[in-house]
């Protein structure tokens, strides 16, 4: 005798499997290829240079400013910036507003899946995520792990130059440029500099720990600049991009290499950092 419930269950299973095949066809790709990835880093670590370079490859598309935040009180409070792609997405309907409050993991999963949807000719889509954004929305890294997205952890080895880069960007009112800019100088706060450097060091250590058991590629800004072809091949191998081509970017370097030419109170800062773990960042 035929079990009606079992029979109906098998029929429905076949129906939904066929329906899924019709509406969600599987994309043929390199067996190791990652069709989506994130670039995780601190601010002023060279993500714009890296992503603009990667996007010069016709098979790669990158989203550079998706989870932009407004930060208040030295990172005490962080809010999604109105006008940012994620803010626009999560406020587009009452349902999404409710999902953001009660089901943020599902909302971010839907958003990232939609954002990284493949398009004609593009084999992999990347998203820039800075540490503060990953702290605000830990569901981003959860999504990356669950969906086997590639994670490129970009680190700038010289944290002092990161701080200087942030200060000069604020003074200029310009964070990136495709043409040469006039040099500026800045004065660093002598009582805060070690605290700032320690915070950056701890941030890098924290995310290295988070990624410890997660497949990822660690890349330094300094090595990418100095050894562009070698590091490009490493990135392509990690993402599963078969077609190698030199990467280009129209971004220009805003500050000179010598910190002594930028920091107005360089002698004072040098005295403070001498004999500490941060001495290695000086000229």
Confidence at 134, pLDDT banded by 50, 70, 90? very high
Query: What is the residue-averaged pLDDT of the chain?
Result: 87
pLDDT at 58 over 80: yes
pLDDT band at 217 (very low <50, low <70, confident <90, very high): very high
Q: Is residue 19 part of a domain?
A: no
Split at pLDDT 50, 70, 90, the class of 15 is: very low
Q: How many CA atoms lie within 13 A of 248 on its CB side?
A: 5
Specify the pLDDT at position 178: 83
Whole-number Å distance between alpha carbons of 53 and 177: 14
**Range of the structural domain that residue 148 is part of:** 30-281
- Provide the number of structural domains found in the chain: 1
The pLDDT value given to residue 165: 94
pLDDT at position 150 is 96
In a domain, 18, yes or no: no
The band of 36, judged by pLDDT with boundaries at 50, 70 and 90, is very high
Whether residue 1 lies inside any domain: the answer is: no
Q: Give a yes or no: residue 240 inside a domain.
A: yes
Residue 228 has a pLDDT of 94
CA 51, 59, 239, 133 torsion-angle sign: positive
Any domain includes 143: yes
pLDDT exceeds 70 at position 83? yes
Q: Assess whether pLDDT exceeds 80 at residue 9.
A: no
pLDDT at 33 over 80: no
CA distance 179 to 185: 19
Residue 74 lies in a domain: yes
Per-residue model confidence (pLDDT) at position 79 = 84
Residue 200 lies in a domain: yes
Q: Would you state the pLDDT for residue 73?
A: 59
What band does 11 get if pLDDT is binned at 50, 70 and 90?
very low
Q: Is the pLDDT of residue 24 over 70?
A: no
> Following DSSP, what letter does each residue of the chain receive, concatenated?
---HHHHHHHHHHHHHHHHHHHHSPPPP--TT--SEEEEEE-TTSSHHHHHHHHTTSTTEEEE-SSS-EEEETTTTEEEEPTTSHHHHHHTSSHHHHHHHHH-HHHHHHHHHHHHT---TT--EEEEEEEHHHHHH-THHHHHHHHTT-EEEEEE-S-HHHHHHHHHHHHHHT-S--SS------B---TTTHHHHHHHHHHHHHHHHHHTTTS--EEEEHHHHHHSHHHHHHHHHHHHT--S-----------S-S-GGGTBTTHHHHHHHHTTSTTGGG--
> Contacts from 19-27 at CB under 8 Å and sequence distance 24+?
27/118
Report the pLDDT value the prediction gives residue 253, as an integer from 0 to 100: 83
Confidence at residue 180, expressed as pLDDT on a 0 to 100 scale: 83
Model confidence over 162-210: pLDDT tens digits?
999 999 999 888 888 888 888 899 999 999 999 999 999 999 999 999 9
Out of 40-44, 66-70, 175-179, which region has the weakest mean confidence (pLDDT)? 175-179
The CATH number of the domain holding residue 231 is 3.40.50.300
Residue 21 lies in a domain: no
């Amino acid at each position: 005798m035929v079990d009606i419930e079992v029979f109906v269950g098998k029929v429905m299973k076949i129906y939904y499997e066929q329906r899924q095949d019709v509406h969600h066809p599987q994309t043929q790709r390199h067996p190791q290829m990652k069709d989506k990835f994130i670039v995780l880093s601190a601010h002023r670590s060279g993500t714009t240079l890296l992503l603009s370079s990667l996007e010069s490859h016709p098979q790669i598309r990158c989203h550079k400013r998706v989870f932009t935040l407004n930060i208040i009180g030295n990172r005490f409070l962080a809010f999604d910036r109105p006008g940012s792609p994620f803010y626009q997405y999560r406020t587009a309907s009452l349902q999404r507003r409710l999902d953001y409050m009660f089901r943020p993991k599902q909302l971010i999963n839907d958003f990232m899946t939609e954002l990284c949807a493949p398009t004609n000719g593009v084999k992999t889509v990347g998203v820039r995520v800075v540490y503060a954004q990953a702290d605000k929305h830990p569901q981003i890294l959860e999504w990356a792990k669950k969906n086997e997205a590639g994670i490129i952890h970009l680190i700038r080895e010289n944290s002092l130059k990161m701080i200087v880069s942030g200060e000069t960007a604020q003074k200029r009112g310009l964070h990136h440029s495709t043409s040469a800019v006039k040099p500026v100088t800045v004065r660093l706060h002598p009582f805060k500099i070690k605290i700032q450097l320690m915070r950056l060091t701890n941030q890098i250590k924290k995310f290295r720990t988070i990624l410890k058991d997660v497949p990822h590629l660690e890349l330094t800004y300094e090595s990418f600049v100095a050894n562009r072809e070698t590091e490009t091949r490493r990135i392509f191998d990690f993402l599963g991009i078969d077609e190698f081509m030199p990467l280009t970017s129209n971004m220009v370097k805003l500050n000179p290499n010598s910190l002594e030419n930028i920091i107005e109170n360089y002698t004072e800062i040098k005295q403070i950092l001498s004999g500490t773990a941060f001495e290695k960042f000086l000229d």
